[in-house]
């Protein structure tokens, strides 16, 4: 199982939507088994799939050794796409027993996910560098960074670059960045060139060519608790995420499913 941490040290970059929709496209169009792990107390990833985080089993008792990871997995509206939910109790979980007395508590998520078998696991993180985000990095093979074309996003990029470099010296982590997703993209943006140059300086050659444009269809899909590919398959966002998923597979060295090109073309015409 390849595990990816979706990260951004700034909120509002469509990090959660990207994890959800790439996972959904992998399951629907490429016949992959994908596990989403909601590791953000805001639980927006769970809500995006129609799951009430206050009425569902979550990752919290798993971290506390009260439940096995397999026991809290829930199905999503997309066949092949499963999720482990979160809720507000995840905030500060590192201060509860047995984590609070465990010198290696930051490895707990990695150990729990090792019990599972999927093609891909995507971990959604808070937009900060706290215990939750650090644990997600420890549990992952690769990172996917999300950014939007604005100055504050560039500042967050510098922090991400430095953090990735610091991880290289850690014996418990073997992690590489697989790509940078650009969201809320406007081809007519006056600062696009400078923005791309700044990102490429921090993460050379890692910007995905497929960019995600702003689309109200994503908000509509959230209201239905389903991915946009199930609500408005021919929408701009659906098209963008399908193409981005194809490029993601190329990055990890996997050929698309034979039927995926037919299915994906529905959203590209």
Q: Which domains does the chain have, with CATH numbers?
A: 2-258 (3.40.50.300)
Residue 47, burial from CB neighbour count under 10 angstroms (0-12, 13-18, 19+): middle
**Considering the entire predicted model, what is its pTM?**
0.92
CA distance 24 to 78: 7
Low-confidence stretches of the chain (pLDDT beneath 70): 168, 256-269
- State how far the alpha carbon of 120 is from the alpha carbons of 30, 32, 102, 204, in Å: 12, 8, 28, 25
Measured from the Cβ of residue 206, the count of other Cβ atoms closer than 10 Å reads: 17
Residue 63: predicted pLDDT: 97
Residue 262: predicted pLDDT: 42
Residue 263: predicted pLDDT: 46
Q: Which two tokens stand for residue 114?
A: 């090792």
Q: How far apart are the first and last CA of the chain?
A: 33
CA distance 30 to 91: 34
* 7 backbone dihedrals φ, ψ, rounded to 5°: -135, 155
């Amino acid at each position: 199982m390849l595990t990816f941490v979706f990260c951004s040290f700034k909120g509002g970059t469509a990090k959660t939507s990207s994890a959800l929709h790439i996972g959904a496209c992998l399951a629907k169009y490429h016949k992959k088994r994908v596990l989403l792990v909601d590791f953000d107390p805001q639980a927006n990833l769970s809500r995006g799939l129609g799951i009430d985080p206050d009425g569902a089993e979550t990752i919290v008792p798993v971290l506390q050794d009260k439940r096995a990871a397999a026991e809290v997995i829930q199905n999503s509206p997309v066949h092949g796409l499963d999720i482990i939910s979160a809720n507000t109790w995840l905030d500060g979980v590192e201060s509860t027993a047995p984590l609070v007395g465990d010198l290696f508590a930051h490895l707990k998520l990695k150990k729990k996910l090792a019990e599972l078998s999927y093609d891909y696991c995507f971990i959604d993180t808070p937009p900060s560098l706290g215990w939750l985000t650090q644990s997600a990095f420890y549990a992952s093979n690769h990172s996917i960074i999300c950014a939007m074309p604005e100055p504050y996003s560039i500042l967050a990029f510098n922090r991400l670059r430095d953090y990735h470099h610091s991880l290289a010296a850690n014996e418990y982590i073997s992690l590489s960045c697989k790509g940078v997703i650009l969201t809320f993209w406007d081809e007519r943006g006056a600062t696009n060139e400078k923005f791309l140059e700044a990102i490429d300086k921090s993460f050379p050659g890692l910007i995905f060519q497929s960019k995600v444009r702003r689309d109200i269809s994503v908000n509509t899909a959230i209201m239905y608790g389903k991915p946009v590919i199930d609500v408005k398959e021919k929408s701009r966002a659906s098209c963008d995420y399908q193409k981005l998923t194809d490029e993601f597979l190329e990055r990890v060295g996997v050929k698309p499913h034979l039927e995926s090109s037919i299915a994906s073309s529905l959203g590209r015409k």
